[in-house]
Amino acid sequence: MDAELTAAGAPDNDPGRIGIGLGMAAPTILRFGSDEQKQRWLRPLWTGEEVWCQLFSEPGAGSDLAALATRAVPDEEGGWVVDGQKVWTSSAHLARWAILIARTDPAVPKHRGISYFVCDMTDPGVEVRPLRQITGEAEFNEVFLTGVRIPDAHRLGGIGEGWKVAQTTLMNERVAIGGVRIPREGGMIGVAAEDWRARPDLRTHELHQRLLALWVESEVARLTGERLRQQLSQGQPGPEGSGMKLAFARLAQEISGWEVEFLAEDGLTYDDWTMRRPDGVDFTGREAGYRYLRAKGNSIEGGTSEVLLNIVAERVLGLPPEPRTDKDVAWKDLPR
């Protein structure tokens, strides 16, 4: 549909700015939200009027997300009071709403005591502080939540069932990062191919061979993505999305590494849009050095490549699971 709208000359909804809303919050609200919640949130999310962010990761809970310590305690009005610290929160400085997971019952094993909420980022208890990355900009932030009030009407899914809801977000996140529809010779490989055509003076046989191999792998990834999207139209994404995200991260790092090497000293320059990126700029409009540095985060964000390999091993290949010693222990009794 996006492709048709673009072809007809319609303005887009700035997907780069609202990626978390479109890719993660919307599918979760569609699956678990009440009619009222869908009515309130989906339209301004899609038009880009309201930006969303994702308050999941914490200083002590990244790959082991279910260990999170942010607490949500019932208040006297039937709502919730939330206290805790989140980290690596992309776009928190732009966001009106956040999808948030918090611990509502510390006395049960970690996966069972979590609930899923929508948090108003304009609440006075929400403090957003920028975190500067290797690229120089601060796409993400740390977020401190102090006595934040959330009405119960902003809960998605049952109390204590937040982990199940979060799985929907995470599966969609991997598809949103790794499964973006790109045209043939689009995205990162398209930029590398343009460099190759523009700079015959820098060509070597070895770099040519490597570019061709990366081109073929990008094409395989693109076609696999098409198949994944066909599967998706039949329902929710499964572990296949993790495979796509894994392949995307490796390719993005290899292609951006190739580009820096090919461009020689020109590859060492990069735009440093200190702290905040100007509106409307995506990775293709930047210097090769920026792409190289930014791609480092691709194998961390949305689940690290090591963790995604575990998912593929266990859920796709059916290999024996990792030993999990804390599965049946109450969260409050886990060593921290």
Ligand X SMILES: Cc1cc2nc3c(=O)[nH]c(=O)nc-3n(C[C@H](O)[C@H](O)[C@H](O)COP(=O)(O)OP(=O)(O)OC[C@H]3O[C@@H](n4cnc5c(N)ncnc54)[C@H](O)[C@@H]3O)c2cc1C
Q: Which is nearer to ligand X, 14 or 306 (CB)?
A: 306
Among 32, 52, 56, 196, the residue binding ligand X under the rule CB under 6 A is: 56
Instruction: Name the residue number minimizing CB distance to ligand X.
Output: 62
Could you say which DSSP state residue 34 is in?
-
Helix (H, G, I), strand (E, B) or coil at 194: helix
137 catalytically annotated: no
- Residue 99 CB, nearest distance to ligand X (Å)? 9
Q: Indicate whether 117 belongs to the interface with ligand X (CB under 6 A).
A: no
Helix (H, G, I), strand (E, B) or coil at 147: strand
**Listed ranges 9-17, 39-47, 243-251, 304-312: which one lies at the site for ligand X (CB under 6 A):** 304-312
Task: State the Cα–Cα distance between residues 269 and 267, nearest whole angstrom.
Answer: 6
Could you say which DSSP state residue 142 is in?
E
Task: State the Cα–Cα distance between residues 149 and 237, nearest whole angstrom.
Answer: 32
Output the 3-class SS for 44-99.
HHHHCCCCEEEECCECCECCCHHHCCCEEEECCCCCEEEEEEEEEEECCCCCCEEE
Q: Which of 173, 240, 254, 287 is catalytic?
A: 173
Cβ atoms of 122 and 96 closer than 8 Å: yes
Q: Which is nearer to ligand X, 66 or 211 (CB)?
A: 66
Q: Indicate whether 169 belongs to the interface with ligand X (CB under 6 A).
A: no
Q: Which is nearer to ligand X, 56 or 80 (CB)?
A: 56
Q: Indicate whether 306 belongs to the interface with ligand X (CB under 6 A).
A: yes
**Listed ranges 36-44, 199-207, 267-275, 297-305: which one lies at the site for ligand X (CB under 6 A):** 297-305
**Listed ranges 36-44, 50-58, 212-220, 270-278: which one lies at the site for ligand X (CB under 6 A):** 50-58
- Residue 299 CB, nearest distance to ligand X (Å)? 8
In 3D space, the residue among 78, 79, 100, 77 whose CA is nearest the CA of residue 151 turns out to be: 79
Task: State the Cα–Cα distance between residues 173 and 19, nearest whole angstrom.
Answer: 9
Among 21, 23, 52, 57, the residue binding ligand X under the rule CB under 6 A is: 57
Q: Indicate whether 85 belongs to the interface with ligand X (CB under 6 A).
A: no
**Listed ranges 38-46, 209-217, 235-243, 303-311: which one lies at the site for ligand X (CB under 6 A):** 303-311
Q: Indicate whether 54 belongs to the interface with ligand X (CB under 6 A).
A: yes
Cβ atoms of 331 and 106 closer than 8 Å: yes
Among 225, 243, 289, 297, the residue binding ligand X under the rule CB under 6 A is: 297
- DSSP per position, 212-259: HHHHHHHHHHHHHHHHHHHHHTTSS--THHHHHHHHHHHHHHHHHHHH
Q: Indicate whether 63 belongs to the interface with ligand X (CB under 6 A).
A: yes
Cβ burial of 7 (10 Å; 0-12, 13-18, 19+) is exposed
Q: Which is nearer to ligand X, 140 or 262 (CB)?
A: 140
Within 8 A by CB and 6+ apart from 301, the residues are: 88, 90, 177
Q: Indicate whether 307 belongs to the interface with ligand X (CB under 6 A).
A: yes
State the catalytic residues.
Answer: 173
**Would you tell me which residues interact with ligand X (CB under 6 A)?**
53-54, 56-57, 62-63, 88-90, 140, 297, 300-301, 303-304, 306-307, 310, 322
